[in-house]
Amino acid sequence: MKSLNLANIVLVVMFAGGTLYALFGGADFGAGVWDLMAGRTRAGAGQRALIEASIGPVWEANHVWLIFALVVLWSGFPRAFAPVMSTLYVPLTAAAVGIIMRGSAFAFRKAAVPIVTKRSYGAAFALSSVVTPFFLGTVVGSVASGRVPATLPGPDSPSPDVIAVWWNPTSILGGTLAVLVCAYLAATYLTADAARQSQRDLADEFRSRALGTGVITGIVALGGIVVLAGDAPQLFEGLTGRAAPLMALSAAGALSSFVLLIRRRYRPARYSAALAVAAVLWGWAAAQYPDMLVGSLTIAQAAGSRATMVAMLVSLGLGSLIFIPALLVLLVMSDRGKLN
Amino acid sequence: MAARQQMALSLGWHIVLACLGVGFPILILIGEGIGLRRGDAVASELAYRWTKIFAVLFAVGAVSGTILSFELGILWPGLMGTFGDVWGLPFAIEGIAFFLEAIFLGIYLYGRDRLSPRAHFLVGLPIPVAGIASAWFVVTANAWMNQPTGFDVALYKATGRVEGVDPVAAMFNPATPVQTTHMVLGALMLAGFLVASVYAWAWLRGRQDRYHRLGFTIAFAFAAAITPVQIVVGDWAARFLAENQPTKLAALEAVNETASGVPLTIGGIVIDGEVRYGLEIPNGLSWLAHGRPDAVVRGLNEVPVDERPPVAIVRTAFQAMVAIGFFLLGLGGWLAVTWIRRRRLPQSLWFFRAAVVAGPATVIALEAGWVTTEVGRQPWIVYGLMKVDEAVTTAPGIRFGYYGLIVVYTALTVAVVTVLRRLRRPWPSADPAGTAIIGSSSPGMEPVEMS
C-alpha cells in the first residue's frame, strides 16, 4: 500500500511534467502550425516575426519537460516504458523525426540569410510542428484505448500489429485533438503577446484564429465521445464517470476563454485556455486510474524499485529548488518582452 | 542489426554536438571575459559571433539528444524494462542540468540588450557548469553498462529478477570516475580543436588579423592544455580495464592468449586475429597495464568464442584514438615551445595545416573512443549480464525507421556544416561592423513598452 502511494506520487510528478510540456511545448508546436498558415512570405512576415519572438527564448526550456516526463517514466515505471516505446515505435519514431526537424529548422531559419533557404527551413519547422503533436497524440490514444500489451513480444506472446496499434479511431482522435489543442493554445497565447507589443491587427487575427480553433476543438472533442464509446469503452466509462468533474472543468475553462477572447481580455483568456487543456489531461489520467496501460498493467505492476523512486523524488525536489525559480525568471522575462 | 546501426548513428552524431555543447560555452566565456577585463572589443565581438553559432549547435544537440531517450525505449525494450529503474537516476538528474542549461542559455542569448555586460557574463557561467554536469551524469549511465552494480547481481544471474536496487550505487559504479573524466576532457578537447581548425584554415587563406588570431589562440591553447591531462587519464582508463574488463583490453590490444611479459604492439593490421607488421615493444603491455614487465595480461582465450568482441574493429579504433591523441599532444607542444621562446604563435604553414587537420582528427578520435568502449563490450549490452540480443526489440520493420533517420541526419550534417562555415566569414548581420554590441545598451534602442 505504501509503495503504491509512493508510485502515485511519482506518477503525479511525471504527469505534471507532461502537462507542462503540453501547455508550454504544445503552444510552441501550435505556433509552428500558425507559422505554416501565415500566408506568403511578405503577407505573413508580421505573424512570423511575432511567433519567432514569442517562442525563441523559451522553446528549448519548454522542450525539456518532455525529457523530464520521459525519464521519470522510465526510471519510475520501467515495465510500462519498455512496452509503450517498443510497441508504438512507428508514431514515436515519426514524432522523434518531427522533434529533431522542428528544433533544428527553427534554429537554422534564424541563422539563414537567403530568403529561399529561410523559406525552406521555415516550411520544415512548420510542417514538423503539425506532425509531432499528431503522432504524440496517437500514442496517448493507443495507451488510453488499451492497445498496448504489457508483455514484450517473445516466444509466447506474439508481436502486435505495429500499424493498427496507432492507426485506429481513438489514436487518430488523440492525434487530431493534439494538433488542434496546440493551435488553440498558441493562438490564445499569441493574442496576449501581440497586444503587449500593441500590434492590434495581429492580436485580432490571432483572436479569431483562437476562437475558430477553440470551437473546432470543442466539436471534435464532443464528437470524439461517440468514438470512444465504441472504440475505448473503459476510457469512455472513466471519462463520463470518475473523471466527469474534470471534463466539466475543462468545458468551463474553454467556454470562459471564448468569452474572454471575445471581450479582448487576452491575459485571463490565456489562463482559462491552459486550464481547459490541463483538465482534459488529468481527466484522462483519472479515467484510466489505476491502470498504467489500460487493461494490461496497473500502476503498482509497472512501478520500479522503491529506492529509485525515493532517490528520484529527492533529487528532483532538490533540483527544482534551483531550476524552478530560474525557469520562472526566464518565462516572466520573456512574457514581459524583456528578451529579444 | 538495423537497431544497432540506428543507435550507433544517433549516438555517434549526437556526441559531437553534445561535446561542442559542453566545451564551446567555455570558449565563449573566455572570449567575453577577455573583452570585459581588458575592454577588448575584438574579443567581445568574437564571443558574440561564437554565441550565435553556439545557439544553433545547442538547438540541434538538444533535439538529437531527445531522440536518444526515445530510442532507448524503442530499440532496447529488454534493457529498459529490466534495468530502467537501476540506471535511470542519472538521466533524471541530467534532465535538471539540461533544464538549467536551456534556461540560462535562453536568458544569455536573448537578454544581451537588457543586462549589463557583467550580468550577461555571470548569466553565462551556469551554462558550461550545467553542460559538464549533464555529460557527467549521462556518462555514469554508460559506465554502469560496463560495470553494472547497484542491485543484487547474484540473484539476477540465478533467476533473472532485479532486486535490491540501489540507484546511487549504480551511478557511482567503479567505471564512473575514469570514464566520466575521460569523456568530459574529450569533449573540451573536441570543442577547442574543432573551433581552432576553422581559424587555422582562415589563417592559411590569408586572414591573419587580430580577430582570427585571437579566435585561434583561445580555442587551440585551451584544447592543447587539456591534451596531456587526457593522455594520463587515458592510461588510467587502460589500467582500469586490465583489472575490471580484461576481455575489452585483450580485444583492443589483440592479446589472444593469457601470458606474462606481453609486448605492446604499435600499428600494424589485424589479420585473422593476429597483428601483423606492428612495432613490438617487449613487455610493454604488461608494464603499462600492471606496472611490472613480467605481469600477466589476460587474453581472449579466457572467454568462450561467442563472448569475444570483434578484435579488428576494436583494436583499429583504439590505435586511431591513441595515435591522434599523441599527434595533438605534439601539436600542443609545438605551440608551447614557440610561445615560451618567442611569445608568439608558430609561423610555419605546417603548424597551421596540422591545426586544420586537428579538428576533424579530434572528431575521429572521439568516435573511435566510442567504438572502442561500445564495440569492445560486445556481445554484452550490460557487461557480463545481458547480451545485446536479449535487449533488442523484435518489432518488425525497424529498418525503415533507420533508413528515414539516415536521410534526416545526412541533411542535418549538411546544414550544420553550412552554419559552421560561417565562423570564418563576417557575420551576415545588418550591422557588419559589430557596433550593435556597443550601441545596443543605450536606452534609446529599447523597444517601447506599451502595456
Closest by Cα among B92, B96, B87, B94 to B167 = B87
Task: Give the minimum alpha-carbon distance from B430 to chain A in angstroms, rounded to a whole number.
Answer: 11
Which parts of B39-125 fold into alpha helices (H)? 41-75, 77-87, 89-110, 117-124
In this structure, is residue B54 part of a structural domain? yes
Which chain A residue has the Cα nearest residue B419?
A111
Q: Do B73 and A84 touch (CB under 8 A)?
A: yes
Identify the CATH number of the domain in which residue A84 sits: 1.20.1630.10
List chain A residues with CB under 8 Å of B60.
100, 103-104, 107
Q: Is the pLDDT of residue A274 over 90?
A: yes
Model confidence over B146-160: pLDDT tens digits? 999 999 999 998 998
Q: Is the pLDDT of residue A229 over 60?
A: yes
In this structure, is residue A340 part of a structural domain? no
Q: Is the pLDDT of residue B244 over 60?
A: yes
Model confidence over B376-405: pLDDT tens digits? 998 899 998 999 988 888 888 888 888 988
Model confidence over A22-74: pLDDT tens digits? 999 999 999 999 988 888 877 888 888 888 888 888 888 889 999 999 999 98
List chain A residues with CB under 8 Å of B393.
86, 89
In this structure, is residue B89 part of a structural domain? yes
* Beta carbons of A196 and A152 less than 8 angstroms apart: no
Place A15 in a pLDDT band, splitting at 50, 70 and 90.
very high
Model confidence over B138-197: pLDDT tens digits? 999 999 999 999 999 999 989 988 888 999 999 999 999 999 999 999 999 999 999 999
In this structure, is residue B293 part of a structural domain? no
In this structure, is residue A108 part of a structural domain? yes
In this structure, is residue B20 part of a structural domain? yes
pLDDT value, residue B423 = 52
pLDDT value, residue B434 = 36
**For the residues B319-346, what does the mean pLDDT come to?**
92
Residue B446: how many CB atoms within 10 A of its CB? 14
Query: Can you tell me whether residue A239 is helix, strand or coil?
Result: helix
**For the residues A254-275, what does the mean pLDDT come to?**
94
Distance CA A9, CA A3 (A): 10
**For the residues B416-438, what does the mean pLDDT come to?**
51
**For the residues A313-338, what does the mean pLDDT come to?**
89
In this structure, is residue B23 part of a structural domain? yes
Peptide bond before A233: cis, by omega within 30 degrees of 0? no
Distance CA A19, CA A39 (A): 31
**Which of A56, A75, A198 lies nearest to residue B110, judging by beta carbons?**
A56
Global confidence as pTM: 0.89
In this structure, is residue B43 part of a structural domain? yes
**For the residues B220-234, what does the mean pLDDT come to?**
94
Q: Is the pLDDT of residue B358 over 70?
A: yes
Residue B91, chain A, CB below 8 Å: the answer is yes
Q: How many domains does chain A have?
A: 1
Place A1 in a pLDDT band, splitting at 50, 70 and 90.
very low
HSE-up of residue B424 (Cα within 13 Å, Cβ side): 21
Contacts of A204 (CB under 8 A, 6+ apart): none
Residues A26-54 as b/e (b if ≥16 CB within 10 A, e otherwise) read: bbbbbbbbbbbebeeeeebeebbebbbbb
Contacts of B398 (CB under 8 A, 6+ apart): A89, B2, B3, B6, B75
- The grid coordinates of residue B380 equal 554484452
Which chain A residue has the Cα nearest residue B60?
A104
Range of the domain at A260: 2-335
Model confidence over B252-266: pLDDT tens digits? 888 888 988 888 888
User: CA triplet B205, B211, B216: central angle to 5 degrees?
Assistant: 70
**Share of residues in chain B with pLDDT > 90 (%):** 45
**For the residues A311-337, what does the mean pLDDT come to?**
90
DSSP per-residue string spanning A173-193: HHHHHHHHHHHHHHHHHHHHH
- The grid coordinates of residue B410 equal 545526412
How far CA A263 is from CA of A193, A204, A257, in Å, comes to 16, 11, 10
Task: Give the minimum alpha-carbon distance from A34 to chain B in angstroms, rounded to a whole number.
Answer: 21
Task: Give the minimum alpha-carbon distance from A80 to chain B in angstroms, rounded to a whole number.
Answer: 8
In this structure, is residue A228 part of a structural domain? yes
In this structure, is residue A212 part of a structural domain? yes
Residue B125, chain A, CB below 8 Å: the answer is no
Q: What is the CA radius of gyration of chain B?
A: 24
Residue B56, chain A, CB below 8 Å: the answer is yes
Q: Do B419 and A152 touch (CB under 8 A)?
A: no
Q: Do B67 and A67 touch (CB under 8 A)?
A: no
Distance CA A113, CA A110 (A): 8
Residue B141, chain A, CB below 8 Å: the answer is no
pLDDT value, residue A134 = 96
Residues A291-317 as b/e (b if ≥16 CB within 10 A, e otherwise) read: bbbbbbbbbebbbbbebbbebbbebbe
Q: Do B106 and A57 touch (CB under 8 A)?
A: yes
Least confident of A115-129, A137-151, B230-244, B346-360: A115-129
List chain A residues with CB under 8 Å of B450.
196-198
- The grid coordinates of residue B5 equal 546501426
Range of the domain at B403: 2-245+313-440
Place B422 in a pLDDT band, splitting at 50, 70 and 90.
low
In this structure, is residue B215 part of a structural domain? yes
**Can you tell me the ipTM of this complex?**
0.89
Which chain B residue has the Cα nearest residue A160?
B395
How far CA B122 is from CA of A29, B43, B104, B116, B118, in Å, comes to 31, 17, 10, 10, 6
Which chain A residue has the Cα nearest residue B408?
A97
Q: How many domains does chain B have?
A: 1
